[in-house]
């Protein structure tokens, strides 16, 4: 008898294996984290040789933690934080990638934990668990054995690509909810089912709000191919029922997409005001493997098949270029077996596997896809989309090996393929003078024998799975003890003491790397600099005016070289400057030195807000509003209310004037003024092509600015989801009680 004997046992066994694998997180309190950020904070690193560090995953600190921290800490007028001034002189707080309460699961996570590190850990591990569970349920729908489902789900959840990107929750969410969509397709192509509809709707909604956009597009093509395959079979059996099932599934997808609209409406606006809509194709093709000759092909094969024999690929010292794209012996063995299986059953998955391999290995094909298949949203290697197809093919491979007819032949051919590739990779490694870990070579021989043993007993598959988890998956985890992560240092302490409230600090040294952009937000410090792929054009204009540079299509700025008497520098409200060099300037005051970094206080800055009469000779209206020089203003508007997305200032003059804020202009800031005891709308303007301004009529008493993006209404979608869930639970309960009553009769 094949074991496990049913799908309940398969899910339980899968849960036990993953719980054991992730014991350091839930049992020892460790967190998903790529490094301890000691170098970035000029802190003394904790002596720890058991936890790997890898700074390739810098987005963890630069992109993910700042957003999550902002949603915890930023002031707000409602339940959702919308605006932050921690970087880029003010910008909308990001609501996508699953880091915002605007996505229902994250909304619940924010209630469970107050630690951004624990938040990411739970988000990543739950996504991993769910992706495997969805694959197991998908295998059940397509009539594969429980063992095949167990292998397919476990292979995806513990694959090299998933372990490699464990610190990037949006990548994991893409695979997770894509598997959810595929499961709903398999379920709804067989019957009209409200739970399947809800899974389809919520998976689409989750993909859009928590997935990586370009990867979502790749998996969209998987949905088309698999959906066409499954629903066409349903239509051939019964045309009317089949078409109703298609419409039922599509309606669920439309509901999910509609409920993500508030966030995507803002995202589209932000994207259109950045440089990400016009990069050259070479920007995208840079992620493809560089293969121009046999030597390049061999090196790619070394990292794709058996990369572990050259060391742990997750270590920064790994000798080959590696970004998680490799396949394990289990995948190779069972995919080979599935190739010898019923092609009619596996045809769509082979088509998808071939499609993504061609797009990844052929630059001309990928360039065509950039122009015609929406592959130009962001840089992403199409090869990362092969893992759901190969895990399904692996499940079919298990089925092929367990069949009495020709099972031995399929297993033997797969075994020969495993050993042949192992011999070739080892030989190429020796010839390339790479250091070989012969223990891993012996391990791969052992696991190959275990896989051959599946022809005699299904339990050999479980042995191979456990060995693979222990020696291939577990060592790739980037995890740290929370107490070992640096969160302060003498340099950070000095920085915090000298950044004036409401102002920012700036680096005026091209090579200084203390507290890189966005790291500051995790510590509650405001920085002029930014790491954001959707940096606004206004911010980029300001960076250029201050002698700085934006790299990677407007993504990164880490220094400026300003004129300290310039009006743009004055308006930026920079109170502290960092450099390694000594500066002599009447506008700067030396504060101190720490870790070879000099700290200078700026003596001339605008502050958070000023008010300039329209008739002032220093304010020019020539097609746009321009302030010509720094002003010596005795009385500044008083900030009465500051809730982050709602700010109220007093007016200091009865004249018609312009109120200028030291933050970047954004179209979603609306203004109202208090005059004659009533509130009236006011016009917002751009000052010096960068800064937020408000045109005030005479006798204005107060000014209130309100940030009104569509995201403000995103939480209403949670009520709809909870309503849908309650509706289905009521229906399920009514059916259960109805059946119980019939049995009682």
pLDDT score of 732 more than 80: no
**Alpha-carbon distance 745 to 742, whole Å?**
5
Where do runs of H (alpha helix) occur along 453-578? Answer: 459-468, 490-498, 537-545, 567-571
pLDDT band at 394 (very low <50, low <70, confident <90, very high): very high
The pLDDT of residue 739 is 65
Q: Extract the tokens encoding 228.
A: 């066409």
Give the pLDDT of residue 653: 86
Which span out of 11-25, 611-625, 724-738 was modeled with the highest average pLDDT? 11-25
Which uninterrupted H or E stretch holds 249? helix 239-258
**Region 473-499 average pLDDT:** 94
Concatenate the DSSP letters of all residues of 255-298 into one string: HHHHTTHHHHHHHHHHHHTSSTTS--HHHHHTTS----SHHHHH
How much is the pLDDT for 271?
86
Q: Which two tokens stand for residue 261?
A: 């609209």
Q: What is the mean pLDDT of residues 605-618?
A: 91
Region of residue 644 (left: phi > 0; alpha: psi -120 to 50; beta: else): left
Beta strand 479-480 with 31-32: parallel, antiparallel or unpaired? antiparallel
Buried b (16+ CB within 10 A) or exposed e, 141-174: bbebbbbbbbbbbbbbbbbbbbbbbbbbbbbbbb
* Per-residue pLDDT at 142 exceeds 80: yes
pLDDT band at 642 (very low <50, low <70, confident <90, very high): very high
pLDDT of residue 660: 95
Q: Are 720 and 259 in contact (CB under 8 A)?
A: yes
pLDDT single digits (tens) 272-331: 888 766 677 888 888 888 888 888 888 888 889 999 999 999 998 999 889 999 999 999
Residues in the chain: 745
Q: What average pLDDT does the segment 443-453 reach?
A: 89
Percent of the chain exceeding pLDDT 90 equals 73
Q: How confident is the model at residue 182 (pLDDT cuts 50, 70, 90)?
A: very high
At 744 the pLDDT is 55
The CB density around residue 54, as the number of other CB atoms within 10 Å, is 17
The 10s digit of each residue's pLDDT in 197-245 is 999 999 999 999 999 999 999 999 999 999 999 999 999 999 999 999 9
Residues 312-321 have pLDDT tens digits of: 999 989 998 8
Crossing angle of helices 459-468 and 146-157, rounded to 10°: 10
pTM: 0.93
From 630, 504, 620, select the one nearest 566 (Cα to Cα).
630
Across the chain, what does the average pLDDT equal?
91
User: For position 722, what pLDDT does the model report?
Assistant: 92
Residue at token pair 């019957």: 191
Q: Is the distance from CB of 154 to CB of 109 less than 8 angstroms?
A: no
**What does the pLDDT average to over 557-582?**
95
CB 208 within 8 A of CB 238: no
651-693 pLDDT, tens digit each: 988 899 999 999 999 999 999 999 988 999 999 999 999 999 9
Residue 728 binned pLDDT confidence (cut-offs 50, 70, 90): confident
CA distance 172 to 205: 15
CB atoms within 10 A of CB 602: 23
Q: In DSSP terms, which residues pair with 704 in a beta bridge?
A: 648, 672
- Averaged pLDDT, 590-618: 93
Contact between 336 and 397 (Cβ < 8 Å) = yes
Assess contact for 309 and 435: CB atoms under 8 A: no
Quick: pLDDT tens for 20-56.
Answer: 999 999 999 999 999 999 999 999 888 777 899 999 9
DSSP 385-398: GGHHHHHHHHHHHH
Strands (E) across 347-472 are located at: none
Return the higher-pLDDT residue of 341 and 724: 724
Measured CA to CA, the distance from residue 133 to residue 176 in angstroms comes to 9
Q: Per-residue pLDDT averaged across 249-272, rounded?
A: 93
Name the band, by pLDDT with cuts 50, 70 and 90, for residue 344: confident
| Positive/negative CA dihedral, 132, 328, 462, 187 | positive
Task: Quickly state the pLDDT bin for 519 (edges 50, 70, 90).
Answer: very high
Check pLDDT > 60 for residue 743. Answer: no
Alpha-carbon separation of residue 628 from 528, 612, 631 (angstroms): 22, 12, 9
Residue 469, number of CB atoms within 10 A of its CB = 18
Give SS3 for 166.
coil
Give which of 202, 190, 203 is closest to 245, Cα–Cα.
190
Q: Span 712-716, mean pLDDT?
A: 91
């Amino acid at each position: 008898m094949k074991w496990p004997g049913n799908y309940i046992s398969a899910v339980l066994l899968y849960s036990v294996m993953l719980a054991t694998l992730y014991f350091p997180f839930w049992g020892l309190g460790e967190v998903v984290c790529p490094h301890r950020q000691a170098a970035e904070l000029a802190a003394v690193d904790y002596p720890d040789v058991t936890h790997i560090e890898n700074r390739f995953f810098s987005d963890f600190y630069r992109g993910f933690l700042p957003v999550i921290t902002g949603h915890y800490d930023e002031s707000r007028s409602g339940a959702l934080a919308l605006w932050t001034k921690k970087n880029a002189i003010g910008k909308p707080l990001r609501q996508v990638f699953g880091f915002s309460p605007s996505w229902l699961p994250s909304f619940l996570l924010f209630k469970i934990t107050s630690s951004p590190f624990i938040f990411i850990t739970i988000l990543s591990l739950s996504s991993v668990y769910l992706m495997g569970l969805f694959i197991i349920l998908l295998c059940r729908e397509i009539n594969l054995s429980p063992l095949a489902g167990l292998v397919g789900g476990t292979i995806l959840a513990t694959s090299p690509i998933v372990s490699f990107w464990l610190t990037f929750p949006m990548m994991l969410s893409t695979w997770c909810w894509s598997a959810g969509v595929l499961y709903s397709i398999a379920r709804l192509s067989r019957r009209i089912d409200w739970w399947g509809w809800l899974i389809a709707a919520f998976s689409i909604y989750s993909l859009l709000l928590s997935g990586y956009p370009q990867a979502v597009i790749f998996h969209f093509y998987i949905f088309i191919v698999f959906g066409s395959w499954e629903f066409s079979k349903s239509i051939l059996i019964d045309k009317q029922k089949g078409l109703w099932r298609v419409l039922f599934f599509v309606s669920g997808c439309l509901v999910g997409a509609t409920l993500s609209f508030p966030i995507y409406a803002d995202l589209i606006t932000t994207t259109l005001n950045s440089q990400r809509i016009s990069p050259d194709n070479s920007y995208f093709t840079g992620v493809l493997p560089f293969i121009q000759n046999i030597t390049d092909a061999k090196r790619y094969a070394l990292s794709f098949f058996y990369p572990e024999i050259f060391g742990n690929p997750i270590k920064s010292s790994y000798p080959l270029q590696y970004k998680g794209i490799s396949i394990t012996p289990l995948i190779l063995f069972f995919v080979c077996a599935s190739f010898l299986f019923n092609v009619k059953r596996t045809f769509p998955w082979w088509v998808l596997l071939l499609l993504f391999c061609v797009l990844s290995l052929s630059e001309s094909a990928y360039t065509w896809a950039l122009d015609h298949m929406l592959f130009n949203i962001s840089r992403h290697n199409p090869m990362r989309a092969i893992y759901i197809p190969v895990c399904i093919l692996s499940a079919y491979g298990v089925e092929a090996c367990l069949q009495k007819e020709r099972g031995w032949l399929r297993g033997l051919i797969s075994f020969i393929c495993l050993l042949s590739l192992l011999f070739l990779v080892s030989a190429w490694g020796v010839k390339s003078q790479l250091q070989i870990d012969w223990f891993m070579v012996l391990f791969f021989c052992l696991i190959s024998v275990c896989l051959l043993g599946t022809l005699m007993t299904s339990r050999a598959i479980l042995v191979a799975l456990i060995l693979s988890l222990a020696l291939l998956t577990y060592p790739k985890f980037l995890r740290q003890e929370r107490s070992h992560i640096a969160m302060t240092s003498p340099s950070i302490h000095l920085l915090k003491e000298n950044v004036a409230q409401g102002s920012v600090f700036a680096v005026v040294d091209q090579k200084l790397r203390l507290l890189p952009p966005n790291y500051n937000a995790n510590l509650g410090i405001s920085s002029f600099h930014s790491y954001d792929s959707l940096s606004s054009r206004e911010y980029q204009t300001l960076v250029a005016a201050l002698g700085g540079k934006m790299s990677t299509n407007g993504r990164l700025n880490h220094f400026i070289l300003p004129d300290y008497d310039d009006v743009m520098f004055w308006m930026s409200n920079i109170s502290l400057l960092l450099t390694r060099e000594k500066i002599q300037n009447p506008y700067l005051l030396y504060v101190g030195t720490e870790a070879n970094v000099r700290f200078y206080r700026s003596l001339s800055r605008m502050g958070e807000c000023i008010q300039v009469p329209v008739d002032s000779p220093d304010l020019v209206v020539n097609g746009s509003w321009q302030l010509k020089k720094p002003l010596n203003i005795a009385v500044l508007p008083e900030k009465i209310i500051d809730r982050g997305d709602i700010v109220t200032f007093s007016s200091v003059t009865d004249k018609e004037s312009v109120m200028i804020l030291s933050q970047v202009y954004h179209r979603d800031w609306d203004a109202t003024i208090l005059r004659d005891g009533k509130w009236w709308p006011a016009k917002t303007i751009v000052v010096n092509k960068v800064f937020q301004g408000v045109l005030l009529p005479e006798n204005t008493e107060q000014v209130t600015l309100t940030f009104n993006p569509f995201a403000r209404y995103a939480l209403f979608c949670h009520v709809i989801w909870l309503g849908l869930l309650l509706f289905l639970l009521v229906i399920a309960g009514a059916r259960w009680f109805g059946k119980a009553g019939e049995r009682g009769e």
